Structure 1
Amino acid sequence: MRLVIERGELLRALGHVTSVVERRTTIPILSNVLLKASGQALELKATDLEREVIEEVRAEVGAPGAVTVPAHILHDIVRKLPDGSQVDIRRDAEKERLTLAAGQARFALQTLGPEDFPDINAGDLGHSFEVAAKDLKRLIDKTRFAISTEETRYYLNGIYLHIADAGATSMLRAVATDGHRLAQAELQRPKGAEGMPGVIIPRKTVHELHRLIEESADTVNVSVSASKVRFEIGPVTLTSKLIDGTFPDYGRVIPQGNDKEMRVANADFISAVDRVSTIASERGRAVKLNLAKSKLVLSVNNPEGGSATEEIEVNYSAAPLEIGFNAKYLLDIAGQLEGEEARFLLADAGSPTMIRGGEDQTALYVLMPMRV
């Protein structure tokens, strides 16, 4: 194998694929990236057996071939090479070495055979559709903060992506919950998504996908089966196993009869919660909302740190209500709301509250109260 490639192209591709490579693994080949040169391209591939990232970049290939080398070492080497330099890569099969040359710098890396590199690519995944990158990014942004990190309830450790009906319209919906809060966002069902199975995309895959989409301004091709999902984002392909579990019937926790509505300027609300929660203990993080006609008093009482109160103007005309929430959860949700206004639909101090942004009907949040 022999090729020449521009340092920036190689660095960008290595940045994408090495992010799925675990730094500590008991299987040596999983520390490596597979380099496959053919035609006028170099294909890079990395995996942790749960996720796989493949990217193809242009290269001047002198002799085709394939090899695997330590991913993070290669990434560090290329990162430190001079901008704009041409990287000459050659495989010495006899010495089982890969040599890199750029300018006056020379490196030799140990290799492992490409034939042992695992492949989780699943061929045709059954259901395939296109979605605008910005729309998919929005679904992830609106929901990923609510993914559970509690390993015992593994089926909550991801985003549930599925088709759901909203009135007469069929939607592609993303839902995440950790038992304390629930986030739901949706968009009109893309052509080709009808009949797709509901799937739980693991947390690590969600974060990897978000990172890859941020660098893309186009469309994402999504392919789904009952056990795998694949995202094609420009020259990058991310394939992942799905969480094998049943997502709970989240519709049961979305309140339908909350008759007390509070409307508040979202920026003012975020600032007030942020200020009073400075006093809250790290463990409790509880903030009390005291609602009366046209006003909201936020208060925090920490026996060890003192107390804080702040009053802000709101649009509220129902019966007075006192309810407590985790301040961090409140700020997480308020930070995702679109529009200048936040709408809180409340019932009583012990029941879940529904939160929406202004007139946005495509995202909703449910937050469980705290005793304060």
Structure 2
Amino acid sequence: MGPGPSSVNPRVLKAMTLPILGHLDPQFFKVMDEVCEMLREVLHTQNHITVPLSSTGTGAMEAACANMLERGDKMIVCRNGFFGDRLGDIAERCGAETFILDFVWGEPVDLQVLSDALDQYGPVKAVGVVHAETSTGVLTPMPDIVELAHRHGALVIADAVTSLGGHDVRMDDWDIDVCYSATQKCLGAPPGLAPISFGPRAMEVINNRPSKVQSFYFNLKGLESYWNQTRAYHHTSPISMTYALRESLRMMMEEGIDNRIRRHARVAGALRAGLEAMGIDLMAPEGYRINPLTTALIPEGIEDTAVRGRLLSDFDIEIGGGLGQVRGKAWRIGLMGESAKESNVFALLSALEQILPDFGYEVASGASLSAAQRALVSYDDGGVLP
């Protein structure tokens, strides 16, 4: 129940035991095509270049910047958490003149601040935004940001590592230019692949850039030659990981994308209700909380690592600690993919009710479980969170 990787269904694990095919085997090409088609459905896009990179989400972040940016380009990065900071770091390493817009950790991106920056620093090549900030549990709405950036002639690079499969991500409807994610969270596969999709504006930039992409491995033109009908060798694909992603996507199609998103919302609402019943505050403001990951502020006097150690050793439950500014101040609790189950919510709340009194933090026995149950009933009755 940490911020990823999440648990993996036995069906997905079993798929990884299938016989290895060569990465240029025609039978494997069929697997690749199936994966790409299902990724387009999850991203709600028709983009031809929608592929899983042989990397984790950080590799996809680097691929997005390396292909979009050339030395001297200007990029604005909206930083409201740890991964916005990483996006800015990578943009600088790609040679871009990078302008960091700082927002309060735990708050969404402020549209007016971005508008002022686009006026001040323009013309800007790209704007980078983390849709669901994994370090703080905050969701930044994308459509207005995309419209604003495009009005200023800027591309939009969106980090959907934690949101894809757990929140609505509509690449075409929202007109996002580059969107990337990772397999180990709401998609329900092990870590090791990173879906990425490039829209028409992004492809125009790639096809017309005068300089070489500074990365061979993440050069999209090379990757495109492998993933499209040419099937030219670029690198050896992780065959078993691709099997796993195909199976996890099949399971998502069986469940229904909208149903999966509702499942994440349902259990997240129960977890939040239970934590608040214990007097534990949440970091992200109401209305901007991501469902796959809840960031709980650690009560004063409670030692972060001691509680997480007890959860792991006594109850076999893993949750994450804070990153960056909130290190030691917050717990990051994941309900992602296979892990997004109400039984996990009750297991964690019950464990915390037993552990916290040992650290001098009193909780009413069963209060958090009752609150979580009421939230589930409320969601089932009306389809909305209380």
Per the shorter chain, which TM-score range?
under 0.3
Please identify which structure carries the higher helix content. 2
Q: Which has the larger radius of gyration?
A: 1
Query: So what's the TM-score if we normalise by structure 1?
Result: 0.26
Q: TM-score with structure 2 length normalisation?
A: 0.25
Structure with greater strand percent: 1
